[in-house]
Amino acid sequence: METNTRVRLAAEGPTVSRLAYGVWRLLDDPEGASARRVLDKIHACLDCGITTFDHADIYGGYRCEEAFGEALRASPGLRERIEIVTKCGIMLAHPARPENRLKHYDYSRRHIVSSVERSLKNLGTDHLDVLLLHRPSPMLDPDEVAVTIEMLRKEGKVLHVGVSNFTPSQLEMLQSRLASPIVTNQVEVNLLRLDVFVDGTLDQCQRLGISPMAWSPTAGGRIFHGGGDVERRVRSALGELCRKYGAAPDTILFAWLLEHPSKMVPVVGTNRIDRIRGAASALAIDLDLQDWFFLWTASNGWEVP
Ligand SMILES: NC(=O)c1ccc[n+]([C@@H]2O[C@H](COP(=O)([O-])OP(=O)(O)OC[C@H]3O[C@@H](n4cnc5c(N)ncnc54)[C@H](OP(=O)(O)O)[C@@H]3O)[C@@H](O)[C@H]2O)c1
């Protein structure tokens, strides 16, 4: 099903909401991360059509999945109303993983399987809608990953597979061995980070018919409070468009991401419920082509050639 609030990530991929909600900063919420507070945010998302939740095993020092899982356990039936994306592969040097002497990546069969099992347990679910390989690794063995993913899919523990922060050639190399289609590439995209528009990443997504997921859509909030020239130019341009569209700056910048023909899925990162609603209201905005380029030009600092 494809509407203006839902999108199919790939031809053989899952249908997700047009915006996802990311839980990386869940434990930084000034209002806490109790099951009650997490449920309030989940319901705020559902109320505005956001049903897809983006996790990683490592978020919150390996604790975010569990905090989210507690909320799901407190609300039977909620799991069936949402899609869960999570990631594996980054090994943090962290007290929760004393065996990691340094930060590194691990895509061995043993690690992928144990990471998935732990995510399932923490989240209190029997399946992950999408598993992403969090970052490319120079030591990734595509044949080992392929065998592991096919096994996890056969067991029904992982329904779909994707990647994150992969270059086009890294994605293509992995896809050449996987029987399952890669359903997304989750990459950093925002008005301070335009690389993927010009380095082939979004071209590849469109060629393969997969929707990218856009992480840090507000550049970690720097668009709103950063002191550099680019931030100032972007804020000033956003201000003009706010007046024209009668919308808040964050709504305009989510509309800018949503307008792109790759049908990218921005991953909303705020802990504030009013800002979740502000992001979702971007779905009602039809950003004019010249206004899209107005923001592009403000970010680059020069007009297109
Ligand atoms: N795949 C990857 O490698 C990767 C990497 C990073 C993130 N991600 C995913 O992407 C998600 C989103 O990333 P993100 O958290 O960096 O998103 P973001 O929206 O770029 O940054 C969120 C931060 O910006 C602040 N912010 C948002 N709107 C604001 C506004 N209008 N004014 C002032 N501050 C504002 C938020 O503060 P408040 O909470 O106070 O609003 C929060 O601290 C993550 O949760 C994670 O799921 C993936």
Q: Going from the N-terminus, what domains does the chain have, and what CATH number goes with each?
A: 6-300 (3.20.20.100)
- What residues contact 135, with CB distance under 8 A and at least 6 apart? 89, 90, 105, 164, 165
Regarding the beta carbon of 54 and ligand 1, being less than 6 Å apart is answered yes
Burial class of residue 144 in the structure, from the number of CB atoms within 10 Å of its CB (0-12 exposed, 13-18 middle, 19+ buried): middle
Regarding the beta carbon of 201 and ligand 1, being less than 6 Å apart is answered no
Residue 1 confidence (pLDDT)? 53
DSSP state of 12: T
- Told to judge if 59 belongs to the known catalytic residues of this protein, a careful annotator would answer yes
Q: List 91's β-bridge partners, or say none.
A: 104
Atom of ligand 1 nearest to the CA of 278: 31
CA–CA gap between residue 29 and residue 73 (Å, rounded): 20
Give, using CA atoms, the residue closest to atom 31 of ligand 1.
250
| Residues lower than pLDDT 70 in the chain | 1-3
Regarding the beta carbon of 221 and ligand 1, being less than 6 Å apart is answered yes
CB 159 within 8 A of CB 128: yes
Regarding the beta carbon of 219 and ligand 1, being less than 6 Å apart is answered yes
Buried b or exposed e, range 153-186, using 16+ CB within 10 angstroms: beeebbbbbbbbbbbbebbeebbeebebbbbbbb
Residue 4 confidence (pLDDT)? 82
CA–CA gap between residue 87 and residue 112 (Å, rounded): 10
3-state secondary structure 73-90: HCCCCCHHHCEEEEEECE
Give, using CA atoms, the residue closest to atom 23 of ligand 1.
220
DSSP state of 190: B
CA–CA gap between residue 182 and residue 202 (Å, rounded): 14
Total count of residues recorded for the chain: 305
